[in-house]
Amino acid sequence: MPPVELILLALSPLFVICVALEYMRAKQYYKIKDSLNNSVLALLHQGVDAFCLVLLMPFFYYLHQYAVFDIKLTWWTLLIGFVVQDFLYYWFHRASHNIHWFWLAHVVHHSSTYMNFTTAFRQSVLYPIVGMWLFWLPLILIGFSPELVFAIVAINLAFQFFVHTQTIGHLGWIEYIFNTPTHHRIHHAINKPYIDKNYGGVLIIWDRLFGTFAPYQAEIKIRYGIIGTLPKDNPLSTNFSPVKQLVRKLKQRNGMKQKLKVLFGYPNDS
């Protein structure tokens, strides 16, 4: 099993405990059918992701032969790798909101009107197909081993589980450097000032540097979900209704130029 799945599987008891504690404390943030759907989506995503990574691993090892450096595992190379991967994650996340092809997978994560720890489980089976893994290739070409790269990816994703909650408030100075529940609630909001903001995975500094940071505004009551038609509360609809909508849009466009604009343009402008 690839490192991503092993690490997330090892942490799954902690995730379940956090879900249970949050539910006992704040049931109003939950809808059982939504959370069950999120859990099934997580299992499907992990299974497909593991299968695809096994298929792609020979390609990653092939690329690693041409790495610029031979990076050995030490505490400081791990730290550098973590920061670089988080930087790459920022651009993956930003691309996933601004390019329809990547949004095809990422929209699944945003398509719930609820925000709780199980929302972190709400992932698409289409991530390997649209090419999330493309964004980690620079790390392999720099000289990090494929196993280490995907272990770092797993740690990054595990951290992000803890920002999907409404039960944690402002965290003081931490908010200036790290992604927090406050920042991520804004990211999931469909209120106009908050759309396409706060893409950071672990560090929020990338948003501050590249102009995509939005601060919390107490006067705005956050609404969660997506702009457009919501899927039904089942894994089939949640995963594939965006594909159905994309195919319909492609059929409505004439000529390759217009179809490419649908595929690679901004989702809501397509």
Residue 239 contacts residue 125 (beta carbons within 8 Å):
yes
> What pLDDT band is residue 11 in, cutting at 50, 70 and 90?
confident
What percentage of residues in the chain have a pLDDT greater than 90?
89
Residue 253 in this model has a pLDDT that exceeds 70: yes
Residue 206 contacts residue 93 (beta carbons within 8 Å):
no
pLDDT, tens only, 150-167: 999 999 999 999 999 999
pTM beyond 0.75: the answer is yes
H-only helix segments in the chain: 3-25, 32-64, 75-98, 100-110, 127-130, 137-142, 146-161, 174-177, 181-188, 205-210, 235-252, 256-264
Residue 9 in this model has a pLDDT that exceeds 90: no
Residue 123 in this model has a pLDDT that exceeds 60: yes
Look at residue 3 in the predicted model and tell me its pLDDT: 59
The chain-wide mean pLDDT, for the chain, equals 94
Residue 2 in this model has a pLDDT that exceeds 90: no
Mean pLDDT of 12-41: 96
Distances (CA, A) of 123 to 105, 107, 172, 186, 261: 8, 9, 30, 19, 25
Look at residue 150 in the predicted model and tell me its pLDDT: 92
SS3 54: helix
